Chain A
Amino acid sequence: MPELAATPGQTIGPFFHYALPYPGDRELVPPGSAGSMRLHGHVYDGDGHAVADALLEIRQADPSGIVPATAGSLRRDGASFTGWGRTITDPAGHYWFSSVEPGPARLGGAPFFAVVVFARGLLNRLFTRIYLPAGHAVLDADPLLSSLDAGERGRMVAVREADGSLRFDIHLQGTLETPFLTFPGQT
Chain B
Amino acid sequence: MSITAVENELVSQRVVSEEIEKIHADAQAGETQPRLDFPPYRSAILRHPVKDLRHADPEGAELFAPAFGRSDVDAGESDLTTGAAGEPIGERIAVHGRVLDGDGRPVRRQLVEIWQANAAGRYAHQRDQHPAPLDPSFTGTGRCLTDDTGRYSFTTIKPGPYPWHNHRNAWRPAHIHFSLFGTDFTQRMITQMYFPGDPLFALDPIYQSITDERARALLVAAYDHEHSQHDFLLGYRWDIVLTGGQATLMERPEDHHA
Contacts and interface: CB of A to CB of B under 8 A. Distances in A.
B100 interface: yes
Contact of B177 (A12, A104, A173): A12
Nearest to B44: A121
B201 interface: no
25 contacts: A2-B244, A5-B215, A7-B219, A8-B191, A10-B191, A10-B219, A12-B177, A15-B117, A19-B115, A20-B115, A46-B47, A69-B67, A71-B68, A72-B72, A73-B66, A75-B72, A119-B47, A123-B41, A177-B49, A180-B49, A182-B56, A183-B244, A184-B255, A186-B33, A187-B32
Interface stretch (A30-38, A105-113, A133-141): A105-113
A124 B36 contact: yes
A172 B49 contact: yes
Interface of B: 31-36, 38, 41, 43-51, 53-73, 100-104, 111, 113-115, 117, 123-128, 139-141, 143, 177, 179, 185-186, 188-192, 206-207, 209-210, 214-216, 218-219, 239-245, 248-249, 252, 255-256, 258
A181 B54 CA distance: 5
A47 interface: yes
A9 B189 contact: yes
Contacts of B72: 71-75
Which of A9, A70, A183 has the most C-beta atoms of chain B within 10 angstroms of its own C-beta?
Answer: A183
B125 A9 contact: no
A75 B255 CA distance: 39
Which of B36, B68, B115, B117 has the most C-beta atoms of chain A within 10 angstroms of its own C-beta?
Answer: B36
Contacts of A65: 60
Interface band, chain A = 35 or more
Interface in A24-83: 45-47, 49, 51, 57, 59-61, 65, 67-75, 82-83
A4 B46 contact: no
Contacts of A45: 46-47
Given A3-B102, A7-B242, A18-B125, A185 B249 contact: yes
B190 A123 contact: no
A124 B209 CA distance: 10
A6 B56 contact: no
Contacts of B60: 61, 65, 67, 102, 104-106, 109, 112, 114
B49 A123 contact: no
B249 A74 contact: no
Contacts of A16: 115, 177
A186 to B, nearest CB: 5
A178 B255 CA distance: 24
Contacts of A59: 61-62, 64-66, 185
Contact of B127 (A15, A126, A143): A15
Given A147-B54, A184-B252, A184-B258, A114 B206 contact: no
A181 B206 contact: no
Contacts of A12: 177, 190
A6 B115 contact: no
Nearest to B42: A121
Contact of A10 (B123, B125, B190, B241): B190
Nearest to B212: A8
Contacts of A7: 189, 191, 218-219, 239-242
A122 B36 contact: yes
Contacts of A177: 49-51
